[in-house]
Amino acid sequence: MTDPGTLQLGLDTFGDITHGVDGEPLTHAQTIRNVVDEAVLADEVGLSFFGVGEHHRREFAVSSPEVVLAAAAARTRSIHLGTAVTVLSSDDPVRLFERFATLDAISNGRAEVILGRGSFIESFPLFGYELSDYEVLFEEKLDLFTALMKEQPVTWQGSTRAPLNGADVFPKTENGLTAWIGVGGSPESVVRAARHGLGLMLAIIGGAPERFRPFVDLYHRSLDALGMPALPVGVHSPGHIADTDQQAWDEAYPGFEALHNTIGRERGWPTYNRLRFQHDVGPEGSVYAGSPETVARKIAGTARALGLTRFDMKFSTGTLSHEKMMRSIELYGTQVVPRVHELLASS
């Protein structure tokens, strides 16, 4: 069961290209500046984490999360800053560790990295990787990255990059680097997270969150079998908050529709519609949209059902405006977070 005193609540964004007040899409540059402002507000209202996803396509502005997070680190004081996710398969583990160790220094120990294979494949051809190596790339690079996290000279050999022989990597962190593995629903990925001693971040973007309980149980059993201590479990899910349920739904739906249908045309999904959206924001769905009370109750229910350490709401979706997202962040920090803790304590 989730301890109300330990549950952290955070936010994630992919830097979705939003619409301005004139209804036209903002530039990538303006969107990135807005993301930094959103991180600053998240810190001001007392949230625990702000995550920025890595993508390499026109719908999302952020391809270098660490640079954006470094800008946020210079303007924030307490909030932890990380990725949601870093596509490790198409990156170099050594350079990635160096970048995050640098971010950790700039933020005074607030850097986190969530490692994943990503749900998009654009980075593979962009950086010269073969999709046929999808599995081995992630497994080998994760093995090397976790070795680098010990911050000792590394000797390593694999098939996807040049070997290392007693290589030392700089800068060193002051207190180590926090890392998670992002998992979309594969038992093999859950066991992998346990095997490498990393936190488990479940990306739940469809269906009832309770159906992921077997993955949480598998993670805990795997840790026990490996003789490892308990490690954190988090959930990443989309959402939006406004003063009333209807306002939140009306504001959020156009962005959900636009993004779902853009990606759906590539993947053969059925056209998104309002009926599907209303199901997703209901008790059996994984969209946390509504008034502060509605969202707080849904988060608390998920936290109890899965025994969470952290819940991260993906607050940017498609064309939803920066102004509405800022209001959502404000309500999340000032009303939802204390209400979630209250609900968990009362249970």
DSSP string computed for 127-145: TT--GGGHHHHHHHHHHHH
Token pair 């936290």 in the structure block, residue: 303
Asked if 281 contacts 317 with a C-beta cutoff of 8 angstroms, the reply is no
Asked if 237 contacts 205 with a C-beta cutoff of 8 angstroms, the reply is yes
Asked if 66 contacts 53 with a C-beta cutoff of 8 angstroms, the reply is no
H or E element at residue 312: strand 310-314
Token pair for residue 137? 């790339």
Output the pLDDT for position 89: 96
Which residues, in sequence order, are CB contacts of 224 under 8 Å at separation 6+?
Answer: none
Residue 247 to residue 242: CA distance in whole angstroms: 6
- Pairing status of strand 164-167 against strand 154-156: antiparallel
Output the pLDDT for position 347: 76
**pLDDT, tens digit (0-9, with 9 covering 90-100), for 60-82:** 999 999 999 999 999 999 999 99
Q: At what angle are helices 245-267 and 292-306 packed, to 10 degrees?
A: 60
Residue 49 to residue 42: CA distance in whole angstroms: 8
Residue 95 to residue 80: CA distance in whole angstroms: 21
Output the pLDDT for position 133: 94
Token pair for residue 180? 């998670």
Q: At what angle are helices 65-73 and 93-106 packed, to 10 degrees?
A: 10
> What is the full DSSP assignment across 155-212?
EE--SSS--EEEE--SSPPSS--EEEEEESS-HHHHHHHHHTT-EEEEE--SS-GGGG
With vertex at residue 310, the alpha carbon angle to CA 103 and CA 302, rounded to the nearest 5 degrees, is: 150
Q: How far is CA 57 from CA 36, 54, 62, 121, 338, in A?
A: 20, 10, 9, 10, 36
> What is the full DSSP assignment across 216-257?
HHHHHHHHHHTTPPP--EEEEEEEEE-SSHHHHHHHHHHHHH
Residue 16 to residue 158: CA distance in whole angstroms: 36
Output the pLDDT for position 185: 81
Domains and CATH numbers, the chain: 8-346 (3.20.20.30)
3-state DSSP call for residue 10? strand
Output the pLDDT for position 2: 58
Residue 181 to residue 233: CA distance in whole angstroms: 10
For the stretch 143-164, what's the b/e string if a residue is b when 16 or more beta carbons lie within 10 angstroms of its beta carbon?
A: ebbbbbbebeebebeeebeeeb
Nearest C-alpha neighbor of 123 from the set 51, 55, 223, 208:
55
Regions in the chain scoring below 70 on pLDDT: 1-5
